[in-house]
Structure 1
Amino acid sequence: MTQPFLSVRNMSKHFGGSAFSPGPTVKALQDISFDIPRGQVVGLVGESGSGKTTIGRSVLRLVEPTSGEVLIDGTDITKLGASDLRRQRRRMQYIFQDPFASLSPRMTIGQILTEGLDIQGIGTKAERRARAEKALTQVELPADAFERYPHEFSGGQRQRIGIARALTLEPEFIVADEPVSALDVSIQAQVINLLRDLQIRLGLTMLFISHDLAVVEYICDTVIVLYLGRIMEIAPAAELYANPQHPYTRALLSAIPSLDPLVKQQRQVLQGDIPSPANPPSGCVFRTRCPVALPACAEAPPPLRETLPGRKTACIRDDLPA
């Protein structure tokens, strides 16, 4: 069996609850495990507050996991020292949600694109410029953007600059955190198509974070469904959209609008709000909003178990859709 490019094992992330951060412990992530095969795109979906961004930042150690392992080609990066981690960072990059906030207004595009190369000590000044200009070409921006500033570009162009910044180090793995949610609808499709084309052409492995289920269906090979810091379901994208198993997944997918007027949708509206991660429900964290919850759901968190070949679901019920 081929070793996955990225493996996350029993990762948890807690905030607060210490002398330096008084207050209740917020269990942002609990016992997260998944794999990303090399060259594939895995999507993270779930409501706001489900832990999607925390996973993205934890797997790159932009925030430190509280426990668990993050393996890149079999190497646990949570145990690497600063110098070894810096070398690993050449292989993995982050695309931020807000393209304007992530670009320094005081730096030219050239300075922004070559900053990572400077830090890593890659190439001469001329070689760094050449790599930056190549990245601009890859995201379909003109080379003369090199001398300009972020405020001179539109939102869609600034996100292309953010993508170019990630590409200058020629990474193998990218975390794309809601990369089109801050853009106009008319621009979103262009950026998504660009990302998909780059991923295929460069053979990138990608963790794609989004609340837009239609976008996730289009770009992702596999989908992970999160709720309140726990995984509810993992499945190949085509199978998950055709036959969602977990009650939470079914509710999420029922909210996708259909453009076919002949299709009558059965919307499953979840009651109440997502609970606080500082005080999650006992047992299954989804049980307080689940339309098919059983008394036993309050007893212990359900294990993520294989319910169909290649699919895993965290639910104790035996009558899940086959």
Structure 2
Amino acid sequence: MDAPLLSVRALTKHFKPSAFSRGPVVRALEDVSFDVPRGSVVGLVGESGSGKTTIGRSILRLVEPTSGEVRFNGTDLTKLSAAALRRQRRFMQYIFQDPFASLSPRMTIGQILTEGLEIQGGLSREERRDRAHRALAAVELPADAFNRYAHEFSGGQRQRIGIARALALEPQLIVADEPVSALDVSIQAQIVNLLRDLQQRLGLTMLFISHDLAVVEYICDTVIVLYLGRIMEIAPSAELYARPRHPYTRALLSAIPSPVPGSKRQRQLLTGDIPSPANPPSGCVFRTRCPYAIDACATAVPPLEAVGPGHLKACIRDDLHP
């Protein structure tokens, strides 16, 4: 079996209070481990505050991990110098959630698309321009977009520009952070279909971050379920949606609207609020909202253990099979 393109081990991120604050440490991520096979799409799902974006940004060291390993093509990115990391980043690109805030209003689209190529070096001006035009064509935008500005485009078109910016460097890995959540529903399907087509056509590897489980089911091969900075469940997409093994996953899936008109899913409502990552519960972090919690859940952090081929869950209860 080929080695995964991306391998994350025991990734932890704590945000410490500033020198002017006496607040507690925020435990955004705790002991997160997973692999992203080459050519696959792996989804990260969970409620707001679960740590999805922090994982994506920690992988590219847009925020510095507190501890753990992030191996890309066998190289631990957490150990690289700034110069070495910059050379690796041409192979890893980020698609941001907000297509309005992520594009400079003072730069033409051509300047936005060629900026990363210029920083990386090694290409002439004509070669950079050619790469940018190929990226625009790949996301189905006209060539004259090259000389225009971001404010001249709609939200969906701006997100296409953000995708083109990532593609221009011909990366191996793309981290797509909620790439459709800021768009109108009518545009979301177009962007998701575009990403799926590009991934298959170019053989890209993608980490797809989303709270929309219907979109994740459509585009992802494997799904990772996060809650309060910890992994609750990992499984192939078809397996997870058919046979979820963790109570939190079941609650999330029960909220997806049924595709059959007139039918309703049996909702599994969660009680209470999500605890603060500055003061997470002891033991299993989900226990304060779990309808199946027992006394033992408060004392030990459940390990992520295999329950089937490629299927892992972090729950001490073995009697909750669907």
Q: How does 1:16-27 map to 2 (within 5 A)?
A: 16-17=16-17, 19=19, 22-27=22-27
The match for 2:145 is 145
User: Number of residues paired by the alignment?
Assistant: 322
Q: What's the CA shift string for 1:99-151, capped at 9, x where partnerless?
A: 01000000000000000011111311111111000100000000100000000
Q: Is the CA contact (8 Å cut-off) linking 2:257 and 2:264 kept in structure 1?
A: no
Task: Give, in whole Å, the separation in 1 of the partners of 2:100 and 2:122.
Answer: 26
The match for 1:34 is 34
Structure 2 gaps, min length 5: none
Task: Give the superposition deviation at 1:22.
Answer: 3.9
TM-score by length of 1: 0.98
Does the residue aligned with 1:110 lie in a helix, a strand or coil? Answer: helix
Q: What's the CA shift string for 1:195-214, capped at 9, x where partnerless?
A: 00000011000000000000
2:275 is equivalent to residue 299 of structure 1: no
Task: Give the superposition deviation at 1:17.
Answer: 4.1
2:189 is equivalent to residue 197 of structure 1: no
The match for 2:238 is 238
- AA in 2 matched with 1:249: T
When structure 1 is superposed on structure 2, of 202-211 and 19-28 the one drifting more is 19-28
2:262 is equivalent to residue 265 of structure 1: no
Task: Give, in whole Å, the separation in 2 of the partners of 1:47 and 1:294.
Answer: 23
Structure 1 gaps, min length 5: none
Task: Give, in whole Å, the separation in 1 of the partners of 2:292 and 2:112.
Answer: 51
The match for 1:2 is 2
The match for 1:215 is 215
Q: How does 1:102-181 map to 2 (within 5 A)?
A: 102-181=102-181
The match for 2:187 is 187
Does the residue aligned with 1:287 lie in a helix, a strand or coil? Answer: coil
The match for 2:72 is 72
Q: What's the CA shift string for 1:39-89, capped at 9, x where partnerless?
A: 000000000000000000001111110000000111101000111111100
Does the residue aligned with 2:292 lie in a helix, a strand or coil? Answer: coil
Task: Give, in whole Å, the separation in 2 of the partners of 1:309 and 1:163.
Answer: 33
Q: How does 1:50-89 map to 2 (within 5 A)?
A: 50-89=50-89
Q: Is the CA contact (8 Å cut-off) linking 2:284 and 2:298 kept in structure 1?
A: yes
Task: Give, in whole Å, the separation in 1 of the partners of 2:185 and 2:54.
Answer: 26
Task: Give, in whole Å, the separation in 2 of the partners of 1:22 and 1:88.
Answer: 37
| Distance change (3 Å), C-alpha of 1:146 and 1:21 | farther
Q: Which runs of 4+ in 1 moved over 6 A?
A: none
Q: What's the CA shift string for 1:218-261, capped at 9, x where partnerless?
A: 00000000000000000000000001110000000000011313
Q: Is the CA contact (8 Å cut-off) linking 2:91 and 2:169 kept in structure 1?
A: yes
Q: Is the CA contact (8 Å cut-off) linking 2:228 and 2:277 kept in structure 1?
A: yes
Q: Is the CA contact (8 Å cut-off) linking 1:16 and 1:22 kept in structure 2?
A: no
Task: Give the superposition deviation at 1:309.
Answer: 2.2
Q: What's the CA shift string for 1:294-315, capped at 9, x where partnerless?
A: 1000001100001122210000
CA RMSD across the alignment: 1.1
When structure 1 is superposed on structure 2, of 11-20 and 39-48 the one drifting more is 11-20
Does the residue aligned with 1:4 lie in a helix, a strand or coil? Answer: coil
Task: Give, in whole Å, the separation in 1 of the partners of 2:260 and 2:84.
Answer: 53
Task: Give, in whole Å, the separation in 2 of the partners of 1:316 and 1:263.
Answer: 33
Does the residue aligned with 1:69 lie in a helix, a strand or coil? Answer: strand
TM-score by length of 2: 0.98
